[in-house]
Chain A
Amino acid sequence: MNRPLLACLIALVLLVVLPHLGMGDYYINLFSQILIFALFAASVNLIVGYGGMISLGHAAYLGIAAYSCTWLVTHGYGQLTAALGALMLTTLVAAVFGMLALRATGLSFLMITLALGQIVWGLAYRWVALTNGDNGMALPARPAPFGISLNGATSFYYFALLVFACAIFCIWRMVHSPFGAALKGARDQPRRMSMLGHDVWMIRWLAFILSGFWAGVAGLLFIYYQKFVSPYALSLQQSAEVLLMTILGGAGTLSGPVVGAVIVTLVKNVASSYVERWNALLGLIFVVAVMFMPHGIVPGLVQWRRAATRRKAKAVGLVPPTAEPPRADTPRPAPDAKLERSA
C-alpha cells in the first residue's frame, strides 16, 4: 500500500472514532465546524491552488446555498427539494459569475470576484423582503435523511463526515484526472496549453463551476449546522478567512486547505475564549507560517522533512550533497507568485 493512501485511511479511522474519545458535545460540534470549513476551503483550493485563480468572493456560494435552502424550506418545500434546489441555484450562479470574472485574469479576476461577492452580500443585507436583512433567516429543522435524526452532536458529526469524505474523494479524483492535469497545465502555461489544443477558458470556467458547487455543498452543511444564516455568511471577511485557510495550509495540495481549516477554526473557537484579540493571534500565525513556509504549512513540512532526511543521509555519507533530485511532487510556488506572472 502506498503511503498517501495509508495516511488517508489512518486519518479516516481517527475521524470516525473521534466522537468516542469521551469529549463533550462542544468539541464534537467544533469538529463538525472544522469539517464544514475544510470542505469550503477545499472548494476554494480547486481554483486558487489548482487553477491559479484567486477568488475573494467565494462566500457568495456558501451563502447562496444556505439562504436558498432556508428560503425553500420555510416556504414549504421538502428538505431534499430544498437541498437540490439550493445546489442547482448555487451552481448556476457560479456559472454566471465565472463567465463574468473569467473575462480577466490575475488581479482583475480577484477584483471581479470580490465585487460580485459584495453584490450578493448587499442583496442579502438590503433585500429584506427576501432575506430578512440583517436579522437573518432561521432553518426550522435539520433534515432527517432516511429517518435518521441529525439533531445530536454526534449524529450530525457523522453526517458531515460522510459528506466531507465523499466530497474530498471526488476532488481527489478530479485532481488526478485528465481534467485536473489540464487545469494545472492551464495554470502553469496557459499559452502553451491552448497551442496544444486545450480550451483554456473553458477549463477555467468548468473548474470555477465545480468549485462553486462544492462551496454550495459546504453551504448546505453550514446551514444544517447553524440552522441560521445572516449576511455575515456572505461577507468579505468570510471569503478572506477561507482564502487564508487555503493559503495557510498550502494551496494546490489536497490536505493543505484541511490543515488550514483546522488551525483557523481552532484559533477562532478555542483561543477566542482565552485571548481577547484572537484575530491578532491568527494574523501572527499567518505571518510566522509565511515567513518559514512561504508555500503553506503542508508543502513546508514536506520540504523540511526532505531536508532532514538529506542531512541525515549526508551525515552517514550515503549521498553526495547535491544528489537529491527534485521529486515529481515538489510543491508548487504559491499562487501569489503566479499573480505576478499573469499580470
Chain B
Amino acid sequence: MTGPALEITGLNKRFGGLPVTRDVTITVAPGERRLIIGPNGAGKTTLFNQITGDLRPDSGSIRLFGEELVKVKTSTRVAKGLSRTYQILTLFPQDTLRHNVVLSLLGLRGVRWNPWISLSGRRDLFALAEEALASVGLGDGGTRLVGETSYGERRRLELAMALAQRPKVLLLDEPLAGLSQNERNGVSELLTTIPRDVAIVMIEHDMDVALAFAEQITVLHFGQVIVQGTRADVVADPRTREIYLGE
C-alpha cells in the first residue's frame, strides 16, 4: 500500500469559545506505531472522537487511505478499516465475553441484519470470537459474563473486540489505564504481538510502556501539535520537557 494510512490536515474544533483542536496535522504511515502524548485536557481523546466520527470537526480533513472521512458515518468508517478502544470501558456487562466479541464481528458482516436465523447457531462466529479472546490471553472463560471479570480482563476484552475486526488503523485510548503493574506488563506485551500491517495510534500516560512501543510521537498541548517526529527527536526536544516538567 502506498500513501499514508491516516492523514489529518488542518483539523479544528471548538467547544463554544474553547478551542480543543487547533490546526492539527498528523500523518500516520501504514503499520506505523504512533504515540500521542500531552497533559490532561490537551485534546487527545477529542481528537480520537473526531477521527471516529463521534464529533464533527469545524474544519479540516481526515483521510483514511486517501478517502475523506469527515462527512462519513461512524459505522462506515469502521467498515473502511478503523477500529478503536475506549479509555472508559464501554462493554456489554450483562453479556458473556464471547457475545461481546461476536457483536464486534457482526459489525462488519451483512448477517447482522438477519432477523430470522439463530445467532447461537452461528458456530463460525463464536469460533472466531474464541480465537480473538485466546489471542489476548482470555482463551478459557469466554462463557463468563463481563460483569464477573476483573478490570484487567476487561481491558483485554476491549482489545479483543477491536482486533477481531482486523482493522487497518487501530486507535488505542489509554489501553493501560487503571491496570496494576503486573497487568500492565501483560497488556503491553500483547500490544507488541499486534500484526505489523496494523497502524496503531495510541494515547498513553505510562511513559515506560509508551516510549518503548512508539516509533513516532506527537505532543499535543491545548489542542495544538507542539512537537512531532521520531521518538528520539521528540524526547530530546526542549519543548517536550517544557510541557511535561514545567518551565
Task: Find the B residue at minimum CB distance from A206.
Answer: B113
| B230 close to chain A: CB less than 8 A | no
A47-76 at interface with B (beta carbon < 8 Å): none
Q: Please state if A180 and B90 are interface contacts (CB–CB under 8 Å).
A: no
Q: Please state if B75 and A198 are interface contacts (CB–CB under 8 Å).
A: yes
Q: Please state if B112 and A198 are interface contacts (CB–CB under 8 Å).
A: yes
- Rounded to whole Å, the gap between the CB of A26 and the closest CB of chain B is 38
| A77 close to chain B: CB less than 8 A | no
A191-209 at interface with B (beta carbon < 8 Å): 191-200, 206
Chain B 78-94 per-residue mask, 1 if CB under 8 angstroms from chain A, else 0: 11000110100011101
| B119 close to chain A: CB less than 8 A | yes
- Rounded to whole Å, the gap between the CB of B149 and the closest CB of chain A is 11
| A2 close to chain B: CB less than 8 A | no
Task: Find the A residue at minimum CB distance from B144.
Answer: A325
| B189 close to chain A: CB less than 8 A | no
Partner of A179, one of B54, B91, B96, B114: B114
Q: Please state if A189 and B92 are interface contacts (CB–CB under 8 Å).
A: yes
Q: Please state if A197 and B54 are interface contacts (CB–CB under 8 Å).
A: no
Chain B hits for A178, CB < 8 A? 106, 111-114, 117, 119, 122
Q: Please state if B115 and A325 are interface contacts (CB–CB under 8 Å).
A: no
- Rounded to whole Å, the gap between the CB of B231 and the closest CB of chain A is 29
Pick from A189, A192, A332 the residue with the most CB of B within 10 Å.
A192
Partner of B91, one of A189, A199, A325: A189
Bound-state CA distance A133–B29 (Å) is 68
| B99 close to chain A: CB less than 8 A | yes
Q: Please state if A196 and B95 are interface contacts (CB–CB under 8 Å).
A: no
- Rounded to whole Å, the gap between the CB of B247 and the closest CB of chain A is 39
Known: A181-B99, A194-B75, A195-B52. A173 touches B92 (CB 8 A): no
Would you call the interface of chain A mostly helix, strand, loop, or mixed? Answer: helix
Chain B hits for A189, CB < 8 A? 90-92
Known: A197-B165, A326-B147. A173 touches B94 (CB 8 A): no
Q: Please state if B145 and A328 are interface contacts (CB–CB under 8 Å).
A: yes
Chain A hits for B96, CB < 8 A? 328
Known: A195-B74, A195-B78. A180 touches B119 (CB 8 A): yes
Q: Please state if B161 and A196 are interface contacts (CB–CB under 8 Å).
A: yes
Task: Find the B residue at minimum CB distance from A325.
Answer: B148
Partner of B119, one of A176, A193, A195, A326: A176
Bound-state CA distance A329–B113 (Å) is 23
Known: A197-B107, A326-B145, A328-B145. A181 touches B94 (CB 8 A): no
Known: A185-B92, A188-B94, A195-B52. A177 touches B118 (CB 8 A): yes
Q: Please state if B114 and A195 are interface contacts (CB–CB under 8 Å).
A: no
Bound-state CA distance A197–B161 (Å) is 12
| B104 close to chain A: CB less than 8 A | yes
Q: Please state if A196 and B54 are interface contacts (CB–CB under 8 Å).
A: no
Chain A hits for B111, CB < 8 A? 178
A contact residues vs B (CB 8 Å cutoff): 173-174, 176-182, 185, 188-189, 191-200, 206, 210, 325-328, 330, 332
Other contacts beyond A194-B73, A328-B95: 18, CB < 8 A = A173-B116, A173-B117, A178-B111, A178-B117, A178-B119, A181-B102, A185-B103, A192-B90, A195-B90, A197-B75, A198-B106, A199-B73, A199-B75, A326-B145, A326-B147, A326-B148, A327-B145, A328-B96
Task: Provide 5 A-B residue pairs closer than 8 Å at the C-beta atoms, listed in order of the A residue.
Answer: A177-B115, A194-B78, A196-B78, A198-B106, A198-B107
